[in-house]
Amino acid sequence: MPHRPYIVGNWKMNGNRAMLAEARAIDRAAGRYPDVQVALAPPFTLIGALREAVTAMGVGGQDCHAHAKGAHTGDVSAAMLVDSGADFVIVGHSERRKDHGESDGVVQAKADAALANGLGVIVCVGETLDERDAGKAVSIVAGQVDASMPVGEGTSDAVALGKVAVAYEPVWAIGTGRVAAVSDVIEMHAAIRARLIALYGEAGEKVRILYGGSVNAGNAAELLAAQGVGGALVGGASLTADAFLPIIAAAGNGEA
Ligand code: PGA
């Protein structure tokens, strides 16, 4: 792994103030692994409290609106995330793409808004099981990368600063306990890297590519050691310190 590994917990629609104790424990562990960049993306409601509760790790949102403000009931803008204490945002998660009908173009606009507001961004991509079975996984994901990654003003600076990441999350591996084969992960990460270099030139090497989908204590070391894997986006196994700490440790012991 040429980059400092990036281990990000995505709490999805889970968590309340009582769970800040877990976050504090995760933060203490993050402090023990300075070679690993650790972050948590809680629901919007916890971002401010989490920011106050932790020191070593990043705090992010799970989505943002593409516009700065206005008549968008229930939405939160990138500027509002910054105001709440977030330093990054996940965009284009497959649950957002599916549940909220987000197209690549919408995801790209959100990524642009994130960077314009100084946030780091993690853009999620991934194929469905039907697409993989049809032999289309690489072309689908390459198309998502081409059409979802940020392109706005300031993108090249953000890429050069390492503020842009991609999470490869096969839809069929999310929350299912089914993990992609390491050889498939290596193939896909190489394909994503090629698209990033086509988009951003040599600076595309600075974009970290995370794997996500049923990452846990038992499989993290193998996945994180795979060629081209720059970290992990972790859902279920990020909800408790007991489950998340071994993943941070696996990244810390890997060849970062
Ligand atoms: P999971 O979720 O680790 O629970 O599979 C990953 C994600 O959706 O980011």
Q: What is the CATH number of the domain that holds 126?
A: 3.20.20.70
Q: Is 236 in the pocket of ligand 1 (CB under 6 A)?
A: yes
The total of structural domains in the chain comes to 1
Tokens standing for residue 135: 């032999």
Q: What is the pLDDT of residue 96?
A: 97
**Domain annotation covers residue 58:** yes
Report whether 15 contacts 239 (CB < 8 A): yes
Q: Where are the alpha helices (DSSP H) in the chain?
A: 20-32, 44-53, 78-84, 94-99, 104-116, 129-133, 137-148, 155-160, 182-200, 220-225, 241-253
Low-confidence ranges of the chain (pLDDT < 50): 1, 255-256
To test ligand 1's pocket by mutation, which of 63, 124, 169, 176 has the most ligand atoms within 8 angstroms of CB?
Answer: 169
To test ligand 1's pocket by mutation, which of 13, 99, 233 has the most ligand atoms within 8 angstroms of CB?
Answer: 233
Q: Using CA atoms in the order 38, 42, 47, 52, what is the torsion angle rounded to 10 degrees?
A: -50
Q: What is the pLDDT of residue 62?
A: 98
**Domain annotation covers residue 122:** yes
Rounded CA separation 162/140 (Å): 25
- Rg value, the chain, Cα: 17
189 noted as active-site residue: no
**Domain annotation covers residue 82:** yes
Q: What is the pLDDT of residue 255?
A: 40
Report whether 59 contacts 51 (CB < 8 A): yes
**Axis-axis angle for helices 137-148, 182-200 (nearest 10):** 30
**Domain annotation covers residue 54:** yes
**Domain annotation covers residue 152:** yes
Q: What is the pLDDT of residue 3?
A: 76
**Domain annotation covers residue 248:** no
Q: What is the pLDDT of residue 1?
A: 44
**Domain annotation covers residue 126:** yes
Positive/negative CA dihedral, 235, 241, 246, 249 = positive
Q: What is the pLDDT of residue 70?
A: 97
Domain that residue 45 falls in: 6-20+28-236
